[in-house]
């Protein structure tokens, strides 16, 4: 068996698709309608980010205080970009916040942490040593 693609789903209200589309330069795929709500999708490299807006608004899950790594379960999504230039300002301008500015974690590899407008943690990574045409991730 071979995994050929990964898709990550969010349950949200309005505005989250626009945040990810505009901050990360992702391309929207045609939406799909289901009895429970509308599913909008964004191409993210070889994967897809999916956003379900339910017909009846979803309730927010309780979040324990503290960093995401202290809680079990799916806690963050990671996106690899070809660079991190302008991501902080773009995220803040669209309702997100910066938890950690870009930090070099090993030679040429940078990470930063954002919160999207719904409070989801987004780890943003860039390999400065990789050629832009072959860098992993979702175009930046």
**Residue 137 counted as domain residue:** no
pLDDT in tens, 54-77: 999 888 777 777 777 777 778 899
pLDDT exceeds 60 at position 89: yes
**Residue 27 counted as domain residue:** yes
How high is the pLDDT of residue 133?
38
Using pLDDT thresholds of 50, 70 and 90, give the confidence band for residue 139: very low
What contacts 24+ positions apart, CB below 8 Å, involve 110-113? 110/84, 112/84, 112/87, 112/88, 113/76
What contacts 24+ positions apart, CB below 8 Å, involve 94-99? 94/18, 94/19, 94/22, 94/23, 95/15, 95/19, 96/19, 96/23, 96/122
Count of domains observed in the chain: 1
Give the domain extent around 41.
Answer: 7-57+74-127
**Residue 64 counted as domain residue:** no
**Residue 136 counted as domain residue:** no
**Residue 68 counted as domain residue:** no
Mean of per-residue pLDDT scores for the chain:
88
How high is the pLDDT of residue 66?
76
**Residue 24 counted as domain residue:** yes
Round to whole Å and give the CA distance between 65 and 5.
32
**Residue 132 counted as domain residue:** no
CB 24 within 8 A of CB 77: no
Q: What is the CATH number of the domain that holds 122?
A: 3.10.180.10
Six token digits for residue 5? 């693609």
pLDDT exceeds 80 at position 140: no
């Amino acid at each position: 068996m071979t995994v050929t693609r990964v898709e990550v789903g969010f349950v949200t209200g309005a505005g989250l698709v626009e945040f990810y589309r505009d901050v990360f330069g992702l391309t929207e795929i045609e939406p799909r309608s289901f009895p429970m709500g509308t599913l909008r999708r964004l191409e993210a490299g070889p994967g897809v980010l999916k956003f379900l807006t339910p017909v009846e608004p979803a309730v927010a899950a309780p979040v324990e205080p503290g960093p995401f790594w202290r809680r079990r379960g799916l806690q963050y999504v990671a996106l690899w970009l070809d660079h991190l230039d302008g991501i902080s300002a773009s995220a803040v301008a669209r309702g997100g916040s910066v938890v950690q500015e870009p930090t070099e974690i090993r030679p040429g590899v940078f990470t930063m942490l954002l919160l999207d407008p719904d409070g989801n943690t987004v780890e943003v990574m860039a390999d400065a040593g990789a050629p832009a045409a072959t860098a992993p991730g979702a175009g930046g």
